Chain A
Amino acid sequence: MNVHTPDSANSRLDAALRSLDAASTPTAEQHQRAAATLERIVATAPAADTNPGAAAPVRRTRRRLLLVPVAAAALTAAAIVLPTGNDGGRAYASWTPVPTALTAAEIDAVAPACRKRLRGGSLDLERARLVLAERRGEHVALLYRTDDPDISGSCLARNLQGDDDVDDVDVGIGGSTGPALPAPARGFTQGTIADYRDASVTDGAAGADVAGVTIHAGNLTVQASVSNGRYVAWWPGAALERDRDQPSGEDGARPIITYDLTLTDGTVVRDAQPTLPS
C-alpha cells in the first residue's frame, strides 16, 4: 500500500482514474493457461546463464550447408547431420529457452532470404506454407511445410530485433514422400531433426490437446513454439549422437533428445514417446 498520504484532491483524481483501469479480472480459461505456463517454466533449466539481451553480438563465420532431401516412403523421422561450424555455441549466446513469436514485419524481412536458400530442395516452395516463425535472441527460425508430401523446410537465420539485415542463413529439408500423419490428441509425431553440430532444429506434429512441447537436449531445456498442430524449436547444441555421423536419414545418427508434453488440461507428460509410422 502507498505510505504517502495524498491530499483529498489527489484521492479524488486517483479514484476517477481507477474507474478507467484497462486491466480486467482473469477468466477461468486464462487461469488454466497460466497453470500450463507455470509448468512449462519450471520445466526449463533454472540456471541464469542465458540472460536475454546481455550477450555481446558475435557474428558467426559463414559456412556451406547441405540441403538434404529425404525421399524414403513412410520415413517420418529424418535425422540430418550438417557440416560442422567452428565457433561452438558462442554465436548463440543470446539464445533463449522460450521463444517469442515473430511479427509480420520480421517475417517479411527474413522470409526472402530463407526462401532463396530453400529453393532447389525437395520442398515445393510454390505450395509450401509458413507454419511457424519464432525468435530466440538474435536468431530466428522459420518453418515451411507441405502436408502432402510431408516435407518440412526449416530456416535458421541471424536477424537482430528491429533490424532488416539477415545473415547466417542455415536451412534443412526433410520429410517423406507420403502425406503427413495426424498426431494423436494427447501425443506428437516427431518430424525432421536437423543437427548443424553447433545448433539443431526440429519440428513435428502436436496433437489437438497438446499446449506445449518441451525438449531436453543434453543440458538444455527448450520450449518449442506450438501452433495449429505443429511445433518447432531450435537450440545451440546437438540433437544426434556423435559417434555415427553418416548417412543421413533413417539409418543415420540417433536422436539424443527427449520430450515433455504439456496438455491443455495442465497435465505434463514426462519423457513422452513420439508416434512413429508403422
Chain B
Amino acid sequence: MRKLQPDREGRFRALYADAYVDVLRFAQRRVHPSHAEDVVADAFLVAWRRAEEVPNRPDDARAWLFGIARHCLLNTQRGLGRQDALAVRIAETAPVTPAGGPEADAVVQRLDLAAAWKRLSAGEQETLSLSVFEDLTSPQAARVLGISAASYRLRLLRARRALRRQLDLVQRPGSSPARASHTSAASPSTPQQMETHP
C-alpha cells in the first residue's frame, strides 16, 4: 500500500488550491491554451516531488512554482532549438474599422501596443510579463529567471525602453502594421508541436 504522508500532502493540497489558477494563467500566456493545463500538471508534479523546498510565504511559493513551470516549458521547447527565454502571448485583438472618437482611438492604441509587443524579443517579453502580468517583485521575478534582483531591474528598465521604442515605430504614419486591419496574438515561439496528444 502507498504510504500516506498527511502533513506533506496537506501542505501540498493547500499550495495547489492557492496557486493553481495563477500557474495556469502563467502557462496560458506562454503556450497554446490547449497545452496550458498539461504544463501546470507537469509543474505541480515536480513541486510535489520537491515539496520540502516550497517557500513559506505564499507569494514566494507562487514565484517558485512559476520558476518550475518555466523550466518545464524551456525543456520542452529546446526540442525546437535551444532557447533561454519564453515568448509571452498577448490577447487576440479583434479587427476594427475605426470610425473616429475616443473609443476608436483606444482600440487603435491597443493594436499599436500589441504590434509593438510582437516586435520585442522573447527575453524582453518575459521580463515585462513577470512584473506586469504575474505581478512579481524584482527579487521574485529574478528568482524565476535564475538571476540577481539587480540584473532583473536592469532588464526591466531595458525592456520598458524597448517597448516604448517599438511603440514609437509602429505609431509613425505609414509604418503601423496594427493599422492595416488586424493584429493577431503575439506567439512567436508557441510550441505548436505540443498540440498533438496521443
Contact = CB atoms under 8 A, between A and B. Distances in A.
B is a partner of A:
yes
Interface of A: 1-4, 10, 13-14, 16-26, 30, 33-34, 37-38, 40-48, 50-53, 97-98, 100-107, 131-134, 161-162, 216, 221, 225, 227
Contacts of A18: 132-133
Interface string B96-134: 000000000000011001100100000000001001110
Given A20-B114, A22-B90, A33-B37, 20 more contacts: A16-B109, A16-B113, A21-B133, A22-B91, A23-B133, A24-B28, A34-B37, A37-B41, A41-B41, A41-B45, A43-B2, A46-B48, A48-B50, A98-B42, A101-B38, A101-B198, A102-B196, A104-B196, A131-B198, A134-B198
A19 to B, nearest CB: 7
Contacts of A2: 131, 135-138
Interface in B68-114: 75-76, 78-80, 88-91, 93, 109-110, 113-114
Contacts of A98: 41-42, 45
Nearest to B90: A20
Contacts, number: 143
A216 B2 contact: yes
A162 B197 contact: no
Contacts of A132: 198
Interface of B: 2, 5, 8-9, 12-13, 16, 20-21, 24-26, 28-29, 33, 37-38, 40-42, 44-46, 48-51, 59, 75-76, 78-80, 88-91, 93, 109-110, 113-114, 117, 128, 131-133, 135-138, 153, 160, 163-164, 185, 193-194, 196-198
A45 B50 CA distance: 11
B44 to A, nearest CB: 6
A161 B79 contact: yes
From B16, B29, B114, B198, name the one whose CB has the most chain A CB atoms within 10 angstroms: B198
Contacts of B137: 1-4
From B24, B29, B33, B117, name the one whose CB has the most chain A CB atoms within 10 angstroms: B24
B78 A162 contact: yes
A4 B59 CA distance: 16
28 contacts: A2-B135, A2-B137, A14-B132, A16-B113, A17-B132, A18-B132, A21-B133, A22-B89, A23-B25, A26-B21, A33-B37, A34-B16, A34-B40, A41-B41, A42-B13, A44-B45, A46-B51, A47-B49, A51-B49, A100-B76, A101-B198, A103-B79, A103-B193, A105-B193, A131-B198, A161-B75, A161-B76, A216-B2
Contacts of B114: 20
B54 to A, nearest CB: 12
> Across chains A and B, which 3 residue pairs bring their CB atoms closest together, nearest first?
A162-B79, A23-B25, A103-B193
B2 A104 contact: no
Given A1-B137, A23-B25, A38 B91 contact: no
Nearest to B9: A42
B38 A42 contact: no
Contacts of A134: 198
